[in-house]
Amino acid sequence: MRLHQTPVSPTPDGVDLKGKVALITGASAGIGQDTARQLLALNLSTLILGVRNEAKGAEVKRLLLADPAIKRTNPDAVVQIVKMEMSEYKSIKVSATTVKGEVPRLDLLVLNAGMAETHFELAPTGHERIMQVNYLSNILLLFELLPLLIATAAKTGTPSRVTWVGSRMHYRSSLIASKPVDSNAHVLDHFDDKDNFFSIARYGDSKMLGVMFTYELAMRLPKETVVINNICPGTTHTNMGDFLIFPLRMLFHLVHYFIARSVEDAGRLVVHAAVVAGAESHGQFLLDKDIQPPHQYITSSAGQVVQKKLWSETLEEMTGLGAAGLELLEEVKHL
């Protein structure tokens, strides 16, 4: 982690999202909320806020539509709210069905929802909660909406976009040194085992899986159809540290006081990955605005074994859930 962070340049002039539809998860606070504001300021026609708390979502909607800049430049903007409980597969399926029933197109999906926690807990799905919220539920939502993303690209002649908010904390995943996956073990089972839970590392573990999945999916999803990338917007002033015990929380906030970015700057980086970065960002991890090579663990023989197993296990899980877009992967990779 840097002791300082580089300034974030403004979004370039000329970005106009008129007529486009975007969905942002985790949109009721922090980076997600400011990303929503910035997209509307870029003339986005329809914004869907994926939120766990509908009351908070309604308040965010009110604030967005009351924003003077949005009222001035995008007075006809439509903001919709869809409830999403990221710890439950059923909620994701229902939410995706709602989205597909309410909008005829989807140009942009921003996977921003995430969590961190210090204790081990299983989600209703039976998977460890952080992995469920930060990894598996994002995958299900992506696959459920993939047919709409692909159809939109075919209709507009422009690739749809998926931007997954990741973290440089995947460089500190427990997979790298402290708790590698046994050669005969399943990756998802490894993280569902309480003995393999390292509280500080688990957030980075979940982000490691997200980056690995991005690399694998991009090999099968042509950039002419959907551009997918993974972005770390840096250390940011949000409430992410509130889960820590008091002494650690105070240290966390002290460090953030000196080095953290504003949510506006972090949101600007997400917007860059989502609507400014070109096809060269497909299947890439971005630190701020810069494409980074995969971490050396990922390119190692051990990392590649884990990545391939993760892809296979994730697809098996999604197949069991009847995820909508799986059958399209084989079709679009030949386009």
Cite the active site residues: 203, 207
- Quick one: which of 189, 165, 169 has its CA closest to 306? 189
- Written as six digits, the tokens of 291 are 């494409």
Report the chain's C-alpha Rg in angstroms: 19
Residue indicated by tokens 């997209």? 39
In whole angstroms, how far apart are CA 40 and each of 34, 71, 81, 167, 266? 10, 10, 15, 25, 16
Residue indicated by tokens 């980074």? 292
Q: Are 39 and 269 in contact (CB under 8 A)?
A: no
Q: Residue 90: left (phi > 0), alpha (psi -120 to 50), or beta? A: alpha
Indicate the residue type of 260. A
d(CA 200, CA 254) in angstroms, rounded, equals: 17
